[in-house]
């Protein structure tokens, strides 16, 4: 990389020119306001991959924008404090110590630190490292520690069997007015509407519209039932076998979501659904996602041990962390992605022979897929009808 002084560019009153075949990325360091520039190859297609990962050769330069100069370590070190820096938490319980250090081999800086519980002297975090040049203020170990505690609390709360808040349900119920539509659902032949009527709940049906004009002129005349309470209606509706498969929910009032969510939770606790049944039930549940509800109101269970797991409808049969540790391949070997196994196109195979292997928890086969937000997820494989499951 070359620095051309006194030439206006995106960097300031100077320009930076990469070497042939290279490209530049840059940012302004939060702490010093120096410019940090990374130079790497523009074409990485010929760089070999090790274990599926390409290591891109990169050179880092530190630029002083006012002096229009590329700095060496002895020049940029005057902008920073390389002595240990001690910080006490606001509650006086924790102490963190960070020290900025220089690594000659890569010609860059890094931070090294640890976190101590003051009363006991116990190291809560040891040998922590962090990049030194960064475009934002670094999160302290104290902040990270308390954030992790809060995340753990939220996660544990999500595993509780929360129930739909009765006060919220009652507020929805009290807000109902004459003629309000509470629920509209349909099958291939009929469409049904549940409405508020004379202090009760009236269910009517008619032929399912097949055109836009019929939808616009929809009027249901056939009375199917009258119910004193919503609970009475739901008892009637819930007895219809696989109601969530038979019917499609087109629209609903918030007041009906308590019944749908509670039914969902009850079914997941009592029996194992097929992936197809999960998909159809999930379509009902999409109408019931309420930001005002705690996540633990929605239940889900480990496909192996049956314990509560975090609600992830995208992965309806995923195994909990404890059960994932029980997974073996078809030869009875524990999964070891460091030594013996690898993931390839959502398959597990042996590193030495490239043999694709099935994976199991006890006698149940599982399959692996990429998780949406990183990592992998293991789900129970659905048995075929001739294997004993419908």
pLDDT of residue 384: 65
Over the range 96-105, which residues count as b (16 or more CB within 10 Å of their CB) and which as e? bebebebeee
HSE of 35 in the Cβ direction (CA atoms, 13 Å)? 22
> What sections of 129-209 are H helices per DSSP?
141-158, 166-174
> For residue 159, is pLDDT > 90?
no
Average pLDDT of every residue of the chain: 92
Question: Does the structure show a pLDDT above 70 at 83?
Answer: yes
Please tell me the distance from the alpha carbon of residue 147 to that of residue 141, in angstroms, as a whole number. 10
Residues 6+ apart with CB under 8 A from 255: 169, 172, 173, 175, 176, 182, 230
Asked if the model's pLDDT at residue 68 lies above 90, the reply is yes
Q: What average pLDDT does range 111-134 have in this prediction?
A: 95
Element (DSSP H or E) covering residue 349:
strand 347-350
Q: For residues 164 and 184, what is the distance between their CA atoms, to the nearest angstrom?
A: 22
User: What pLDDT does 190 receive?
Assistant: 95
Say yes or no to pLDDT of 131 above 50: yes
Look at residue 237 in the predicted model and tell me its pLDDT: 96
pTM (two decimals): 0.67
Instruction: Note the pLDDT of residue 193.
Output: 96
Q: What percent of the chain has pLDDT over 90?
A: 79
Give the pLDDT confidence score for residue 52 in this predicted structure. Answer: 63
* pLDDT over threshold 50, residue 199: yes
- Please state the rounded mean pLDDT for residues 353-369: 94
More confident residue, 370 or 76: 76
Query: Residue 320 gets which letter from DSSP?
Result: P
Q: What is the C-alpha to C-alpha distance for residues 97 and 116, in angstroms, rounded to an integer? A: 8
Task: Report the pLDDT value the prediction gives residue 389, as an integer from 0 to 100.
Answer: 40
Rounded to 5 degrees, φ, ψ at 140 are -75, 160
Query: What confidence score (pLDDT) does residue 87 get?
Result: 96
CA pair distance 234, 198, nearest whole angstrom: 19
Using one digit for the tens of pLDDT, what is the confidence trace for 275-313? 999 999 999 999 999 999 998 999 999 999 999 998 999
Q: What is the pLDDT of residue 344?
A: 84
Residue 386 has pLDDT above 80, yes or no: no
- Residue 312 has φ and ψ, to the nearest 5°, of -130, 80
Give the pLDDT of residue 70: 96
């Amino acid at each position: 990389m070359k620095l051309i002084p006194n030439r206006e560019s995106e960097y300031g009153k100077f320009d930076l020119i990469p070497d042939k075949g290279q490209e530049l990325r840059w940012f302004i360091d939060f702490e010093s306001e120096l410019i940090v520039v990374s130079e790497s190859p523009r074409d990485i297609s010929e760089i070999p991959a090790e274990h599926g990962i390409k290591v891109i050769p990169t050179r880092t330069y530190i630029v002083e924008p006012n002096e229009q100069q590329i700095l060496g370590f002895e020049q940029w070190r005057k902008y920073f404090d390389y002595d240990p820096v001690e910080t006490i938490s606001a509650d006086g319980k924790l102490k963190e110590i960070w020290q900025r250090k220089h690594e000659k081999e890569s010609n860059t800086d890094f931070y090294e630190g640890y976190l101590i519980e003051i009363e006991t002297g116990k190291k809560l975090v040891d040998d922590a490292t962090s990049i030194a040049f960064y475009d934002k203020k670094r999160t302290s170990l104290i902040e990270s520690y308390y954030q992790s505690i809060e995340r753990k609390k939220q996660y544990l709360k999500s595993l509780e069997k929360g129930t739909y808040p009765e006060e919220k349900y009652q507020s929805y119920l009290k807000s109902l007015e004459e003629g309000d539509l509470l629920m509209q659902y349909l099958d291939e032949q009929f469409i049904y509407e549940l409405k508020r009527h004379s202090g009760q709940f009236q269910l009517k049906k008619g032929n399912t519209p097949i055109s836009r004009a019929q939808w616009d002129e929809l009027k249901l005349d056939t009375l199917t039932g009258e119910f004193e309470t919503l609970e009475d209606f739901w008892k009637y509706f819930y007895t219809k076998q696989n109601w969530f498969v038979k019917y499609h929910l087109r629209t609903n009032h918030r007041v009906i979501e308590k019944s749908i969510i509670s039914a969902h939770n009850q079914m997941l606790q009592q029996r194992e659904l097929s992936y197809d049944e999960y998909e159809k039930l999930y379509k009902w549940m999409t109408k019931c996602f309420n930001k005002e509800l705690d996540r633990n109101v929605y239940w889900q269970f480990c496909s192996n041990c049956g314990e509560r797991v975090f609600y992830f409808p995208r992965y309806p049969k995923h195994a909990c962390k404890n059960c994932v540790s029980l997974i073996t391949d078809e030869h009875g070997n524990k999964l070891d992605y460091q030594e013996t196994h690898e993931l390839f196109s959502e398959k597990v195979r042996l590193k030495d022979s490239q043999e694709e292997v099935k994976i199991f928890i006890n006698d149940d086969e599982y399959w692996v897929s990429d998780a949406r937000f990183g990592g992998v997820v293991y789900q129970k494989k659905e048995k075929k009808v001739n294997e004993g499951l419908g």
